[in-house]
Structure 1
Amino acid sequence: MSATMLSAGPAGARADAEPDSIICHGGDLRAAFSPGVGFTKRTTQVSADGYLGVCNSPKHPKIATGTFRFSGSGTGACPGPFVVGYGKLTITWSNGTTSVLPQMAIRADAHTVSLDGGAVSEGPFRDETGRLHGRVTTSTIDMGQQCLSSGLTGVAASVDTMALSTS
């Protein structure tokens, strides 16, 4: 009598356990602060829009790039951090799908912008944790002048990496 056995060992487990993740390198963002950030710590609304450069996802090979929008609020002051708070991140992928992270932490200072910790609640990469890190490209002289006058109303940054993954 012959029996056929299906392997449930490591090879089979690896196929099922492959994370539904993505990593993108490069891109840019523009963040706006309203009211402008001055030398007195206060709450400000933050909105940001940006572009994600080359993206790679084993389970979603048709996703090549993306655009994103962040909307939230936080507190901050000059000389920094300009804002520390929370908000919603929505990513529209190049294949037309959208991932929503409703609770992302934001921190922006004179050198870096980061979004961390939120989980995808809708769309591809559901339940994966998001992270975006970028370097501020706005001149520190320009930021200082805005802080001294009517308040810093925004910064531009280059995106180093954006990832949605389990770790």
Structure 2
Amino acid sequence: MAAGTVECRDGSLDVQADTGVAFPRKTVQLTGRGNLDSCSSAQHPKLSGGTITLETALQARCPGPFGPGYAKVTIAWNDGSTTSIDQSTFRGDSVSFALEGGRVTSGVFTGGTVRADGRTTTPLIEMGAACATGGLTAYSTTINQVHLGDL
């Protein structure tokens, strides 16, 4: 059983692709790095935010969809603790992203699961231009919410 829950209501995620995502569908490695803000947990009251990293290999094409694919997620919390999540399903496109399921394998909330979503903030015209000129290699999103732990 997980050690409680945490909810974050704000954040950002910058996503990088190892090769440019273009119009034909292909396998890419995505790496996302960002911040979690406005976090609260009754069981861990010192948690207020952290940094998030995700890595996934998936099928993608421009301007989407990206995935679905299994992601490894790591969160370094502001109090010095960490959370590692394996096999969470990541999917995204030019409008939004979602992260669902998987299992917290170590750190705070071990045994729990995750749900997260956000919206793409890179303008569609900018993404489309990148798709047409060598491939999309980066885009940014908000993190609207993250729920982690006993869900």
* Class of the TM-score when normalised by the shorter of the 2 chains: over 0.9
Q: Which protein shows a greater Rg?
A: 1
**Which of 72, 80, 88 is the equivalent residue of 2:56?**
72
Q: Following TM superposition, where does structure 1 have runs of at least 4 consecutive aligned residues deviating by more than 4 angstroms?
A: none
**1:145 and 2:129 matched:** yes
Q: 1:61 to 1:150 in 2, by over 3 A?
A: same
Q: Which residue number in structure 2 is paired with residue 125 of structure 1?
A: 109
Instruction: Tell me the SS of whatever aligns to 1:73.
Output: strand
User: Relative contact order (C-alpha < 8 Å, sep 6+): which is higher?
Assistant: 2
Instruction: Tell me the SS of whatever aligns to 2:131.
Output: helix
**1:97 and 2:81 matched:** yes
Instruction: Tell me the SS of whatever aligns to 1:120.
Output: strand
Q: How many residues align?
A: 151
Gaps of 5+ in 1: 1-16
Q: Which residue number in structure 2 is paired with residue 6 of structure 1?
A: none
Q: 1:58 to 1:36 in 2, by over 3 A?
A: same
Instruction: Tell me the SS of whatever aligns to 2:105.
Output: coil
Contact kept, 8 Å, 1:72 with 1:88, in 2: the verdict is yes
Counterpart residue type for residue 119 of structure 1: R
Q: Which residue number in structure 2 is paired with residue 14 of structure 1?
A: none
Q: Which residue number in structure 2 is paired with residue 111 of structure 1?
A: 95
Instruction: Tell me the SS of whatever aligns to 2:126.
Output: helix
Instruction: Tell me the SS of whatever aligns to 1:144.
Output: helix
Kindly provide the CA deviation profile for residues 64-99 of structure 1, in whole angstroms up to 9, marking residues without a partner as x: 111111112100112311342112100011110000
Counterpart residue type for residue 82 of structure 2: T
Q: 1:19 to 1:98 in 2, by over 3 A?
A: closer
**CA deviation after TM superposition for structure 1 residue 154, in Å:** 1.6
**Which of 14, 21, 34 is the equivalent residue of 1:37?**
21
| Equivalent residues in 2 for 1:49-68, closer than 5 Å | 49-68=33-52
Contact kept, 8 Å, 1:77 with 1:83, in 2: the verdict is no
TM-score, normalization by structure 2:
0.95
Instruction: Tell me the SS of whatever aligns to 1:99.
Output: strand
Contact kept, 8 Å, 1:114 with 1:131, in 2: the verdict is yes
Gaps of 5+ in 2: none
Q: 1:125 to 1:108 in 2, by over 3 A?
A: same
Contact kept, 8 Å, 1:37 with 1:82, in 2: the verdict is no
